[in-house]
Amino acid sequence: MKQIQNLIENLELCIPGCDSAPMYTPLPTTLEPGTVLDWLYKNLGEQDLMVYEEWTEYSGYTPELKPLKNITLPIDITDFIFNCVENIDWSESNIEPWELPYFIPWLEHINYYLKPHGVRLVNILPFENAYIICLRDDDTLIQKLHLSLEDLGMGINKREPLDQQQVLLELHSIISG
């Protein structure tokens, strides 16, 4: 269980307000990614440090996570991105309309506005839907957490910050291929 110990230590370093003490009892019963993810979700969710979102239902709102409670974003991310995608000519698109929710850079754009606050939203890989956590925006710490998750068959989608122009370019690239 050295891998779990390493993961707990990195979570405590990376997640603002994380109390690692409750994570030690009980530990996950196996090191299978699904079991570890369930354990993470239970422990971090109880501290308001992880949320689950289905990409097809997520629409760019700021997740209700403890490190974000006192942060207000200067724009409505949802309105901005919906305005960007409302006039898509699907006959010229390389993706199907149902695929779009999986590619919209919601978290990347939110992260642009979170950067001055020193935090970043990421999601745990390789799962179809999003297990979102808020980390300190420190590449070294994020990489250490990613490596500790990688030892358990998982990882972090780092969700690099994108400003409005970068979001437009990303959406155009996704849609036109």
Mean pLDDT of the chain: 94
**Ramachandran quadrant class, 17 (left: phi over 0; alpha: psi -120 to 50; beta: rest):** left
Residue whose entry in the numeric block shows the structure tokens 């969700």: 159
Is 163's pLDDT higher than 80? yes
pLDDT by residue (tens digit) across 63-112?
999 999 999 998 888 899 988 888 788 888 888 888 888 899 999 999 99
pLDDT value of residue 58: 94
Say whether pLDDT at 15 is over 80: yes
Strands 119-125 and 50-53: unpaired
